[in-house]
Amino acid sequence: MKNIAKEILNKNISAAAKLMRYIEEEDIKAIDELKLLYLHQGNSYVIGITGLPGSGKSSLIDVLIDYFRQDKKTVGVIAIDPTSPFTGGSILGDRIRMQKHSNDNGVFIKSLPTRGWKGGISKVTSRMIAVMDAMGKDIIIVETAGVGQTEVEIKDLVHTTVVVLVGGLGDSIQIVKAGILEIADIFVINKADKINTQDLESDLNSLLSLDSGSGKSIKDKEWKPPVCITEAANNKGIGNLIDNIFLHEDYLKTTGKFDEYFKNKSINDLKEIISDYLTNLLFKELNNDDIYKKLLNDLNNNESDPYTVAEEILRQFLKK
Amino acid sequence: MKNIAKEILNKNISAAAKLMRYIEEEDIKAIDELKLLYLHQGNSYVIGITGLPGSGKSSLIDVLIDYFRQDKKTVGVIAIDPTSPFTGGSILGDRIRMQKHSNDNGVFIKSLPTRGWKGGISKVTSRMIAVMDAMGKDIIIVETAGVGQTEVEIKDLVHTTVVVLVGGLGDSIQIVKAGILEIADIFVINKADKINTQDLESDLNSLLSLDSGSGKSIKDKEWKPPVCITEAANNKGIGNLIDNIFLHEDYLKTTGKFDEYFKNKSINDLKEIISDYLTNLLFKELNNDDIYKKLLNDLNNNESDPYTVAEEILRQFLKK
C-alpha cells in the first residue's frame, strides 16, 4: 500500500497516471495513496484558465507552457473542456500542435470528461490537483470551457483565475454580465490581431470600476483585475500576462491569502469526504431495512415527501 | 405554515414566485411548503432543451411555447443559460420578443443563475420543477447552455432531452463527440435556412447507427433519437419536432419509464436531503469540539490528510 504514492513523490509519471485512473473510476484503492500525497501538497501554483470555445484559450495555454518551460518550471495541465485540443476534442491541426508537449517530461497533461461526476467536477479536479502538486509540478493549469457551473466550482481550487474573452462578440460581454466578472482575477482579450478589442476593453473597464450598485462584486475587493491584450497565435502580449499572473501571486502571498487557499481546499475536501462516508454508511444499513422500504413506497405513491422521509430515517438511524 | 403551498396549488403565481425565492436563498421556510407540494407532483411533462449560444434554442423554445399555448396547455420555463433571452442575458431585441409571454398567465418563466449553487444546479432545479408541477403546469421546459456538467445533471430531471445543434460549425459535432450524444432523446438541427444541414445530419446519423465499439452509448438503447431539421425563426419544422416529442412521451409511457422518472427523482431528492441533514448535524456538533479543532490544525499543517481526519471524526461521532 502507498507504493503508488511513493512513486508519484519520486515524479513517476506512469504511477501518477495510474492513480488518476483510480480517482476517475472512484476506486477505493485511490484513498490510501491520496492519504500520503495530501501530506506533501501546498507547493504548486494553480492557475485556472477559462474561456468560450473560439476564444483561443488553448493556444494561450500552449504559449504559457512554453514560457514556464523556458523558465525551468514543470507544468501540469488539467483540461476539462470537451472542445480543448488537450482533450483531443478539437480539430486535428490544433491537437497535433499540442502534442509537442507530450514529448516533454516536464509537462503532464490530464484531460477529464465534463460529465458523469457524482457531486460535480470539483471533487475529482481537487484530487487531480493534489496528485500533480505531490508530483512536484511548479505550475498547474486548469482549463475550463467558460460557460456555467464548472468555472464557479473550479474557482475555489485555483490561486489565479484567468478569463479569456475575444472582442467583437456580443457573447463575451454577456458572459461577463452573467457572472464571470466575479470569478476573474485577470482578464485576457485574445485574438487582438483579428478582432478589435477597444469596445470590450472599455466595457470591461467600466464594469470593473463600478464599486457597487450593480449588484455584482469582483472576487476580491482589494484586487482590481487587470485587462491584458494578447495575440496568442503570434506570441504577443504574453509577457505582460505573465507579469500580471506573478503580480497576483505576490498579492496573494503578501496578504496571507496564498496560505488560506490550501487551508480552505483541505477543509472543503474534508467536509465532502465526511458527507460521502456518512451517506454511504447510512444507505448500506438502510438497503435491507423494512421501515426504509415502506417509506420509499410511501414516497413513490405521493403519500409522503422526501423531507419527511429523511427526518424519519435519521430519527431511526441516530437512535441506534 | 403551508399557506404558500396551498396558494400554489390554487395556481397563485406570486405565491410560486415567493417560494422559488426561498428555494434559491436556501431559506428553511421553503421546506414545510415543499413537503405539501411533493404530494401533488407527477403531472407535468418535463422537456430539457440544451444547445450552445447561437444555436437558436431560445427562438425554438419561443415557438414551442406558442404551440403548447394554442393547444391550451400551460407552460413553465426554467432558464439556466446565462445567455438566454429568458434570463435577460441576451441582446435587447430577443429579450423584448420573449416578453410577449410575460403577459400570458399560462406561461411562467423562472431564470436561475448558473452559479453559486452548493452541490450543483440540479438540486435547486429539481425543487423548481416540483413547484411548477404542483402549480399544474402541463409542460415544463428546462433550458440549459449546452456545455459541461449542467446538462448531464439536468438530464435525470427531465422526461425528454432535446439537443439543439447548428450545421456548419465544427463545434457541434465536437459537442456530440464529447458526450451530448448520450443525453439526447431528440436532436434538432436548427437554422436550416441559414446553414447547410447535410453534413451534420449524416454525421449524426452515422454516430447514432454505431451500436457499439465507439465506447459511447445512447441514453436508452431501445430509443433511437430522431434528427429534426428546423427553422425556428420561420416557424418551420416545428410540427415534426412536436410529433417526435410526443412519440418519445408515448414510448416512455408504454415502457413504464414515465413512472420510473418520478420514482427516481424522488429517491434522488431523498438521498440528497439525507446527506445534507446528516452533514449539517455533524458539523453543528463539531464546531465547538476540541478534538475537531486539533484535527483541523493537523490537516492545515500537512500532518494529517482529509481521509484520516474524516475517519477519526466519524469514529468519535458515531460512538455517541
Q: What is the CATH number of the domain that holds A137?
A: 3.40.50.300
Cα gap A284→A300, rounded to integer Å:
20
B286 located within any domain:
yes
DSSP-assigned states of every residue in B97-150: HHGGGGG-TTEEEEE--SS--TT-HHHHHHHHHHHHHHTT-SEEEEEE-SSSHH
Q: Which residue has the higher pLDDT, B143 or B215?
A: B143
Q: Give the model's confidence band at A280: pLDDT under 50 very low, under 70 low, under 90 confident, else very high.
A: confident
B185 located within any domain:
yes
Q: Which residue has the higher pLDDT, B207 or A215?
A: B207
Query: Quick one: B52 and B35 in the same domain?
Result: no
Percent pLDDT > 90 in chain A is: 40
- Are the C-beta atoms of residues B111 and B141 closer than 8 Å to each other? no
Query: Quick one: B247 and B309 in the same domain?
Result: no
Which residues, numbered 27 to 86 in chain A, qualify as contacts with chain B under a Cβ-Cβ cut-off of 8 Å?
31, 34-42, 52-54, 82-83
pLDDT at A204 over 90: no
B262 located within any domain:
no
A263 located within any domain:
no
- Please name the member of A149, A171, A274 whose beta carbon is closest to the beta carbon of B83: A171
Q: Which residue has the higher pLDDT, B215 or A86?
A: A86
A199 located within any domain:
yes
Quick one: cell of B176?
A: 456530440
**What mean pLDDT comes out for the span B292-306?**
90
Query: Quick one: A107 and A205 in the same domain?
Result: yes
* Average confidence score pLDDT of chain A: 82
- Please name the member of B148, B274, B314 whose beta carbon is closest to the beta carbon of A314: B274
Which residues, numbered 165 to 204 in chain B, qualify as contacts with chain A under a Cβ-Cβ cut-off of 8 Å?
170-171, 174-175, 177-179, 182
Q: Give the model's confidence band at A98: pLDDT under 50 very low, under 70 low, under 90 confident, else very high.
A: low
pLDDT at B101 over 60: yes
* Contact pairs from chain A to chain B, CB under 8 Å: 212
Residue B301 near chain A (CB below 8 Å): no
Q: What is the least distance, in Å, from the CA of B97 to any CA of chain A?
A: 18
Helix (H) or strand (E) holding A270: helix A257-286
**What mean pLDDT comes out for the span A88-113?**
66
Query: A179–B82: do the CB atoms touch at under 8 Å?
Result: yes
* Average confidence score pLDDT of chain B: 82
What SS3 state is found at B189? strand
Q: What is the least distance, in Å, from the CA of A181 to any CA of chain B?
A: 12
Of A90-94, A117-121, A149-153, B37-41, the range with the highest mean pLDDT is B37-41
**What mean pLDDT comes out for the span B86-104?**
57
Query: A40–B302: do the CB atoms touch at under 8 Å?
Result: yes
Query: Quick one: B239 and B145 in the same domain?
Result: yes
Quick one: cell of B60?
A: 425554438
Q: Which residue has the higher pLDDT, A96 or B125?
A: B125
Query: Quick one: A1 and A70 in the same domain?
Result: no
**What mean pLDDT comes out for the span B58-82?**
90
Query: Quick one: B35 and B47 in the same domain?
Result: no
A83 interaction partners in chain B (CB closer than 8 Å): 171, 174-175, 178
Q: Which of B19, B29, B31, B278 to mutate to test the interface with A (most CBs of A within 10 A)?
A: B278
pLDDT at A99 over 80: no
B88: left (phi over 0), alpha (psi -120 to 50) or beta: left
Domain count for chain A: 3
**Number of alpha carbons in the 13 Å side-chain half-sphere of residue B246:** 8
Task: Out of A206, A223, A257, pick the residue that ends a domain.
Answer: A257
A178 interaction partners in chain B (CB closer than 8 Å): 82-83, 87, 89, 113-114
CA angle A48, A51, A55 (to 5 degrees): 135
- Are the C-beta atoms of residues A219 and A248 closer than 8 Å to each other? no
Q: Give the model's confidence band at A214: pLDDT under 50 very low, under 70 low, under 90 confident, else very high.
A: very low
pLDDT at A92 over 50: no
Query: Quick one: A77 and A6 in the same domain?
Result: no
B264 located within any domain:
no
Q: Which of A33-37, A171-175, A240-244, A272-276 has the lowest mean pLDDT?
A: A171-175
Residue A258 near chain B (CB below 8 Å): no
pLDDT for res A262: 81
pLDDT at B167 over 60: yes
Query: B82–A175: do the CB atoms touch at under 8 Å?
Result: yes
Q: What is the least distance, in Å, from the CA of A239 to any CA of chain B?
A: 30
Query: Quick one: A79 and A1 in the same domain?
Result: no
DSSP H helices, chain B, are 3-9, 13-24, 29-38, 57-70, 92-98, 121-134, 149-155, 170-175, 181-183, 198-209, 238-254, 257-286, 290-300, 306-319
Residue B246 near chain A (CB below 8 Å): no
pLDDT at A22 over 90: yes
A201 located within any domain:
yes
Range of the domain at A284: 270-319
Query: Quick one: A13 and A110 in the same domain?
Result: no
B170 interaction partners in chain A (CB closer than 8 Å): 91
Query: A273–B306: do the CB atoms touch at under 8 Å?
Result: yes
A281 interaction partners in chain B (CB closer than 8 Å): 314
Torsion angle defined by CA atoms of residues B238, B240, B245 and B247, in that order, rounded to the nearest 10 degrees? 160
Among chain A residues, the shortest Cα distance to B319 is held by: A320
pTM of the full structure: 0.75
Query: A282–B282: do the CB atoms touch at under 8 Å?
Result: no
Residue B300 near chain A (CB below 8 Å): yes
pLDDT for res B97: 53
A264 located within any domain:
no
Query: Quick one: B13 and B73 in the same domain?
Result: no
- Are the C-beta atoms of residues A272 and A102 closer than 8 Å to each other? no
pLDDT at B98 over 80: no
Q: What is the least distance, in Å, from the CA of B70 to any CA of chain A?
A: 31
pLDDT for res A188: 92
pLDDT at A90 over 50: no
Quick one: cell of A198?
A: 477597444
pLDDT for res B32: 93
Residue B283 near chain A (CB below 8 Å): yes
B267 interaction partners in chain A (CB closer than 8 Å): 296, 299
Quick one: cell of A9?
A: 513523490
Q: Give the model's confidence band at A119: pLDDT under 50 very low, under 70 low, under 90 confident, else very high.
A: low
Query: A120–B149: do the CB atoms touch at under 8 Å?
Result: yes
B146 interaction partners in chain A (CB closer than 8 Å): 147
Query: Quick one: A148 and A278 in the same domain?
Result: no
Q: What is the least distance, in Å, from the CA of A282 to any CA of chain B?
A: 9
Percent pLDDT > 70 in chain B is: 80
Among chain A residues, the shortest Cα distance to B181 is held by: A115
Q: Which of A214, A274, A297, A311 to mutate to test the interface with B (most CBs of B within 10 A)?
A: A274
- Are the C-beta atoms of residues B191 and B166 closer than 8 Å to each other? yes
Q: Which residue has the higher pLDDT, B289 or B39?
A: B39
Query: Quick one: B23 and B46 in the same domain?
Result: no
pLDDT for res B278: 83
